[in-house]
Amino acid sequence: MNEGEAFLEALEQKARILAPGARATYEANKDLCSWLLNPLARWAEAAYGKQIFEDAARGYASYCIGVAQAQRIYEKAGRYTPEAMPEIMSGVYEDEGYMVPYMWAAILIYAFWPSMVNHLAMFREDFLRRLPANARILELACGHGVLSLLAAEERPDIQIEGLDISPPAIAVAERLLKVSGHSGNVKFGTKDALQANGSMESDVYQGIISAMLAEHLPEPKPLFSAMGRMVSKDGLVYFSTAIESAQRDHVYEYNQESEPLQMAESAGLRVSLLVSDAGLPSAGGRFLPRATAMILQRR
């Protein structure tokens, strides 16, 4: 059996309603999903013990319920209605009880949600496998740190720094790093993405990852400016964001794919690849939640 199936089995026990959809996405994309779930299962069990599979299943279930509730409120209000940033900091990013289960969900959706599985494909095929040799990589808002760890697993020649504003998320990332065997190549730290090391310097990184961060910022334009400055001429940016997709900590509402695209272009970047995916058919609401990912390069 694939080690990663332990996550699905826990879902079948603890969140039965959500399990068939997750399994269908996994079965239809087994190579790709196992590429994520197998090492994740090894690191998670080594760092937290077998209990982690149930904990992750519970985290995934409460996240999915929260997303559905937030989308209903969004449909009624007609716009995102986020709490103020200080409340999001204290109630989400600094709250270990909220943040740790959220982080398990944030990584599992890449293998369990049809709208995210194409992001995983783009991340592996069009970003990691195309980075220049010995690339220096920055991951902004690394959360759980798993994308950085997978990057190190796939590309042992690269060096990666991951940073996130949330201390409990960085604690998860550090715990997984410790058992992953990648401590020589990967470093994590607690920091605001907009105050990244090198954000004022040019040409510092051959790869930048900004996955599902822009919608968490009150204004994402400075994120694009910093990425446009920091990425080298031969480098790649992997960028993703949520469109018409409400969540408790989504504060910037994108309604069209052209909006992040134009922000990227205004920052001197061009898009070499774009995927935008609504996943499952919409239930007929006025908003269609989508997840968009792009590969960006310096013009």
Which residues bind to ligand SAM, rule: CB under 6 A?
93, 106-107, 141-143, 164-166, 169, 192-194, 211-213, 216-217
Q: Is the dihedral of CA 224, 268, 272, 187 positive or negative?
A: negative
Q: 18 vs 107, which CB is nearer to ligand SAM?
A: 107
**Phi and psi at residue 15, in whole multiples of 5°?**
-145, 65
Which lies closer to ligand SAM via its Cβ, residue 131 or residue 141?
Answer: 141
Name the residue with tokens 């013990």: 49
**Residue 218 CB, nearest distance to ligand SAM (Å)?**
9
Q: Taking the complex as a whole, how short is the minimal distance between the CB of residue 163 and ligand SAM, in angstroms?
A: 6
Nearer to ligand SAM, 66 or 132 (CB): 66
Q: Which is nearer to ligand SAM, 44 or 211 (CB)?
A: 211
Do 205 and 138 meet the contact criterion of CB atoms below 8 Å apart? yes
Pairwise CA distance, residues 231 & 296, whole Å = 10
Smallest separation, CB 93 to ligand SAM (Å): 5
Q: Which is nearer to ligand SAM, 85 or 274 (CB)?
A: 85
Closest residue to bound ligand SAM by CB? 143
| Cβ-based nearer residue to ligand SAM, 85 or 271 | 85
Distance in Å, CB of 103 to ligand SAM, minimum: 7
Residue 194 CB, shortest distance to ligand SAM, in Å, is: 6
CA distance 154 to 125: 10
Phi-psi region at 239: left, alpha or beta (left = phi > 0; alpha = psi -120 to 50): beta
Q: Is 264 exposed, middle or buried (0-12, 13-18, 19+ CB in 10 A)?
A: buried
- The nearest distance, CB 251 to ligand SAM, in angstroms, is 9
Radius of gyration for the chain, computed over Cα atoms and rounded to the nearest angstrom:
18
Question: Dmax over Cα atoms in the chain, in whole Å?
Answer: 50
